[in-house]
Every structure is written in C-alpha cells, then in structure tokens.
Amino acid sequence: MAGRPPLPIGTHGKIVARDVTPAGQRAKLWQAHTYYRDPDGKTRRVKRTGGSKSAAENALRAALSDRQTDSAATLSGDSRVSAAAAVWFEQCEAAVAEGELAPNTLRLYESAWRLHIEPAVGELRLRELTVSRCEAWKVELRKRKGAGTVRTSKAVLSGVAGYAARMGAIGANPVRDTSPVRGKRKRAARAMTLDERRRWLDAMEADERASRWAVPDLTRFLLATGVRIGEALAVTWDEVDLDAGSVRVEWHIIRVKGEGLIRATGAKSEAGDRELFLPRWAVDMLLRRRVESAGAWPVFPDSLGGWRDPSNMSRALREARDAAGFGWVTSHVFRQTVLTVLDDAGVSRRSIADQAGHADPSMTERNYMQRGKGSARAAEVLDGILDETA
C-alpha cells in the first residue's frame, strides 16, 4: 500500500487544539498544533498557545501565515516574534540532537516561552520588539515571578531576538540592553569542617536506609572528587582505573520526559570532561565496591543494577541529613568542601578549576568557594579530607 502523499510545500495539515492547563493553575491554557511543509521540503510541527481554544488556533494561523511569507529561514521586521521563536527552537532541538544542549534545558526554555513570553510578546512584529517594551515585559514578570524564572525567560527572549538580528530582521537585539534582573543576594558557600565531615559519615553509617542507598560511599566519592551528584551516578566501572587511582568524568544522569533516565553528555564546556586522580582511601572504597558489585555496571547502581535517579538520591540524602541534624547540607556542599579544602592547601586556582570541571577559574572562585585533567597534588591533599589515612 502506498504511503500518504506529503503535504504540498507551503501548506499545512489539520489544526488540532487541546487543553494543556497545568495542574493547579486557574487560568486556562490551550495549545493548537499542526504540521507545515517548509520550502526546504521538511514537514515540521508548528504549535502555539492561548488562553482559549480559539485564541490558540488564531495564534497558530497567524504563525502559519508568517511562515508562508517568510519561509522557514527568512525573517523581516514585519514577522512576528513567534515566527522567529519557531526557527530558534528548531535550532535548539538540533543542538540537543548534537549533544550541545541538555534536553532538560530545552524543556525549561520551552516552558518559559509558553508560559511567560509568548502570551506577552509573541504576536508583536519584530520591529515592535523595542528595548522599552522588553523592559516593561521584564519588570511586569518580575512582579509575579522569582529572579530565576525571569532570568531564564529573559535568556530565551534574548536568544530569539538575537537570532532575528543575525538574520537582518532587526538592527540589534533589544533584550540585551534591558536592565539586569535583580534578586536576593546569593548565599555564601559553606564548606564542612573536618569535625562535621566525620560526624556526617558516622551518622550516615548508622542510618540503615542511608546505608542501603549507599549514601556513605557516595559521600566519600563526592569528597574525593568534587563532582556533581549527577556526574557521580553516571560513572561506570570501565571509567575507573583502580591501578592508576583515577576516574574519567564524562557523563551525567538526567531524567527526560517520555524517555526516563538517560546517561547524557553535554558538559557546559570541554573542561567538564576530565580525568581526576583519587585519594588512596577512595581507591580502597571503590575496590571494595567493585568486589561487592555483583556485576552491576554503574559504580552506584539502583537496586536492580541500573542507573540511580539523581532526584531520588537527593531526596534520600535530604531525609538522612534532616534525621542527623544536618539540615543545611546538600550534595553541592560536598563539592564546595572539596574546592575549599584544595584552596586552603594552596593548590593553584587553575588546578582547582580543573578538578571542578570549570573552564574559567574565576567561576570556581566566585561560586564555591576544569581543562581536562585534575592535579596529582589534589589527590595527595584529599587523602586527608576524612583523616582516614592519618
């Protein structure tokens, strides 16, 4: 049987609308979508949202009209902001496919666009997207949402406007000239003292559930490396060299909607892929876990031998910390502790940044307190972080 013939170029299929109002939200949100065949011959899904079914369908028809006028890759000052956003998001999807953008980051961007940007400025013509209008939008959004949400939304709109500027549709990116997003002063990093580290491990060893979830050994690994919890849970035994006392850090575990847990690449910079030397006590711990692994491939597997969910692991850690009276401790505290200990020992800022996986040492200094290889000196210093070999 012959397949369905493709849509003629420049035409679209049936428009379908559905209620996508998030649970607990009072204001209605509808999404309309269809498939449109662009001038390059590719059929792409086009979607728009609105406060009612008709509003969503009207917004979609307007976007389709723009698409017919502009083609998939050409924009003008009369094109709508939503038309530029559609092409920008296609580029983001391509970046995800190439491993250059995390899938969850794209979903965060899509949510910001759908909830905070498109309803406010999506139907403006690009020439109408002035600095003053962008500033007014940002100020109004800040009245209702936190600084983090506003920063993300501003970054998305800036990405869309920047793409329009590169295509010659507007002279410059107007979002770039809006005022900074002010928020609460960031809490200073707090590192654990040696006494706190000892008491923490004693408490975790005594907690049956924490031990079952491997919190004590995971803590030791985090204190031996300074990696993020998602990176630690992605380490497999073929990336651990017990003879050389080193570990390769190249992946992280994330949960992707519709796919479940995946082991993803996509470090923020090339420095995120790194080889780290391990303290002797950490090698001993990993050697014991290797013997006890029963064939599981991840170093820190779940009960079935597969990937462990970072969110579930963080929840187990929170429950254990609260029971032990360490309410301020998060997995990131162990990372901050490692970087602070190295700094106090006089390890160079470049080596500390390499340990953390940061390309810019100033980033490490600002937020703790990588190029690809940690320092052997770092492993020597971390030998004493738990005072187990003293």
Q: pLDDT by residue (tens digit) across 163-181?
A: 999 988 999 999 999 999 9
Whether 270 and 301 map to the same domain: the answer is yes
Q: State how far the Cα of 166 lies from the Cα of 147, in Å rounded to an integer.
A: 28
Look up residue 38 and give its two tokens: 């662009």
Which of 146, 177, 208 is the endpoint of a domain?
Answer: 177
CA angle 255, 298, 196 (to 5 degrees): 85
Which of 126, 152, 177 is the endpoint of a domain?
Answer: 177
Taking only the tens place, the pLDDT of each residue in 112-151 is 999 999 999 999 999 999 999 999 999 999 999 999 999 9
Does 101 fall in a domain? Answer: yes
Per the CB < 8 A criterion, the answer to whether 170 and 157 are in contact is no
Whether 343 and 265 map to the same domain: the answer is yes
Predicted local confidence at residue 293, as pLDDT: 84
Per the CB < 8 A criterion, the answer to whether 340 and 220 are in contact is no
Whether 206 and 295 map to the same domain: the answer is yes
Which CATH number characterizes residue 50's domain?
1.10.150.130
Whether 132 and 229 map to the same domain: the answer is no
Predicted local confidence at residue 352, as pLDDT: 86
Chain-centroid distance of CA 313 in Å reads 17
303-316 burial, b at 16+ Cβ within 10 Å, e below that, comes to eeeebbbbeebeeb
Predicted local confidence at residue 362, as pLDDT: 66
Predicted local confidence at residue 62, as pLDDT: 86
Q: How far is CA 323 from CA 133, 208, 329, in A?
A: 50, 12, 12
Predicted local confidence at residue 287, as pLDDT: 95
The residue range of the domain holding 301 is: 194-382
Whether 244 and 377 map to the same domain: the answer is yes
pTM for the structure as a whole = 0.62
Which CATH number characterizes residue 287's domain?
1.10.443.10
Whether 217 and 289 map to the same domain: the answer is yes
3-class secondary-structure state, position 16: strand
Does 312 fall in a domain? Answer: yes
Does 279 fall in a domain? Answer: yes
Whether 198 and 171 map to the same domain: the answer is no
User: Domain tally for the chain?
Assistant: 2
Does 11 fall in a domain? Answer: no
Does 189 fall in a domain? Answer: no
Reported for 16-25, long-range contacts at CB under 8 A and 24+ positions apart, including other chains, are 17/53, 17/56, 17/57, 19/53, 20/49
Does 10 fall in a domain? Answer: no
Does 317 fall in a domain? Answer: yes
Burial (Cβ within 10 Å: 0-12, 13-18, ≥19) of residue 225:
buried
Does 290 fall in a domain? Answer: yes
Whether 173 and 309 map to the same domain: the answer is no
Which of 149, 177, 205 is the endpoint of a domain?
Answer: 177
Q: Which residues of the chain have pLDDT under 50?
A: 1, 70-72, 370-371
Whether 162 and 206 map to the same domain: the answer is no
